[in-house]
Amino acid sequence: MHMNNQQVRVRFAPSPTGYLHVGGLRTALFNYLFARKEEGRFILRIEDTDQKRSIPGAVENLITTLTRTGVQHDEGPDVGGDYGPYIQSQRMQIYQEHIRKLLDAGHAYYCFCNEERLDKLREEQRKRKRPPMYDGRCRNLSKDEVEENLARGVPSVIRLRYPQEGKTVFDDIVRGRVAIDNSQVDDQVLIKSDGFPTYHFASVVDDHLMRITHIIRGEEWLSSVPKHIFLYESFGWEVPAFVHLPLLLNADRSKLSKRQGDVSVESYLEKGYLTEALLNFIALLGWHSADDREIYTLRELEEAFSLERINKAGAVFDLEKLNWMGGYYIRHLDVGYIADQARPFFEEAGIDIGDQEKYLKVIATARDYVFRLSDLVEHARMFYDSLVFTDEDRSLLGQEESKRILAYIIEALGRPGHWSPDDLSRLVKEAISDLGVKGKGFYFPLRLALFGSCHGPDIPTLIDILGRDESIKRLSRALHSE
C-alpha cells in the first residue's frame, strides 16, 4: 500500500441534507475503525456546497448522532484541527484559487450551454439509449469567445477537460484492479453557475489539503474515481488509496434507499434500539472477522477491524438479525445501564418508576422478553399500574380453589419478618404441599392476581419485585374481585 510512511488520515464527509442514514453511519464507522486500528486521525467534514439541499440544523444533528453512537471524530467543525475550516461553504476562497490553476493549465474550461440545451441533449441521448453526457460543445471555444461571453455576463459553469481516449486503471482495496473506459466518463461540472463547487471538485481539493491517505466510501462513487484521479494528476498531487464499501440491500436484494422506510439512525435510536447493538450490527454489513464472531463492542471492533476483510458482495440489512442483536445486548449489558437508558421511555409512557431498587428488579425481569428499550415499558407496566381483569380472569379468580390459594399466601405474607427471595421460594413449596395443589392450578391464579396474566415471571420474583405490602394489596383485591 502506498503512503505507508505517513500517518493514516481518513474522513467522513456527509452533506447536511437531513438525518444520518444507516449507510452513512456504516461509512463513518469503517473510517473511524480504520483510524483507530492504525492509530491515525478520523476527520469529519461537512459537504454543504449544494446549497439548495442543505437543511438548517442538520450539521448539529449529524454531530449529535455520531457522538451518541461513540463514533467520535478527531477533527471537525465542532472540535477544530489544523486543516480547517471543516465546512466546505467556508472554503470558497480555496476552491477559487484551485480552479484558476486548472483553467490556466487547460485542464478545465468554461461552458456557456444553458439548461434548455442540456435538457434537450439528455432527452435525445435517452431516446438513443446512450448514457447522458455533455457533448463537448464548449470544449474548444477560442480564448476570445470565452472572454467575450464572460464580459457579456453569459451564465457559465466550469467543466473538467477529461481525456476521451484510453482507459483509466486503478486499484481498489476491496475490488482489486478496476478499469474504466475514458469514453464513458463525462466532462464533469467542477464549478456550478452559482459559483459553488460540485462534490467532485471540492472533495478532491479538500482530501488533498486535509492530507487524506485512504478514501473509504460507498460503492456508488466507484465510477467517479477516474475523474478524481485525473484531478489529482492535473494538480500533480499524490493519489490516495481507494476503498469502496459494498452496497446495502433490502431483504429482497434491492438497494437500501433513503426513500425506503425508516433508514435514519435517529429513528432506530428513538425506537429504542441500543446504540451498542446498532453499531455491532452495522459493523457486520460488509465486513466480517477472521473467526466469524458476531458480538463485538466498539473497542473490540477497533482491535479486530481490517480493510482486507471487507466483502465485495452487497450486504443485506436484515432486521431480524438486528432484533436478535438488540435482545442480546439488552440482556447482557449491566442492568443499571439498561435501566438508565430505558428511563426516557418510561417517562414518555407516564409511568412514575419511583423506587430505584424496585425499578432495577423490574428491568432485570422484563429484559428477558424484549429487543428494544421501548418494549420494556409494556413488560413492566403491570408492576406500576393497577391491574384490569377480564370476565375470564374473574371467573378463574372466583373459583374456590383459587380463593384458598390467595387466602393462604395473604396470611403467610402477613406474618412478621423479612422475606428474602429464598424465603419466598420456600413459601411457594410449602403452599403447594399444604394446599395439595400444583402446576397451573397453583401458579395461574397467583400470577394473575399479582401480574395480571397467567404467564410470566415466577411467583417469588413477582412478590420480591412488588414488595410485601403491594403483593398483599393485589392478592386481596383479586380475592374480592367479583
Half-sphere exposure of 340 (CA within 13 A, CB side): 5
Tell me how crowded residue 124 is: count the other CB atoms within 10 A of its CB.
12
The cell 477497533 sits on which residue?
302
Catalytic: which of 192, 258, 321, 403?
Answer: 258
The cell 417517562 sits on which residue?
347
Task: Tell me how long the chain is.
Answer: 482
- Do 98 and 205 meet the contact criterion of CB atoms below 8 Å apart? yes
- Strand order across the 157-160 sheet: 108-111, 157-160, 189-191
User: Strands 241-245, 214-218: parallel, antiparallel or unpaired by DSSP?
Assistant: parallel
Give CA–CA dist 467/477, Å, rounded: 16
Give CA–CA dist 346/373, Å, rounded: 10
Handedness of CA 424, 426, 430, 436 (dihedral sign): positive
**258 given a catalytic annotation:** yes
Cα 442 to Cα 387, 389, 402, 448, distances in angstroms: 19, 18, 8, 11
Give CA–CA dist 218/310, Å, rounded: 12
Cell of 438: 400444583
Cα 73 to Cα 3, 31, 58, 301, distances in angstroms: 22, 10, 17, 16
- Do 225 and 178 meet the contact criterion of CB atoms below 8 Å apart? yes
Measure CA 28 to chain center.
9
- Do 185 and 168 meet the contact criterion of CB atoms below 8 Å apart? yes
Active site members? 258
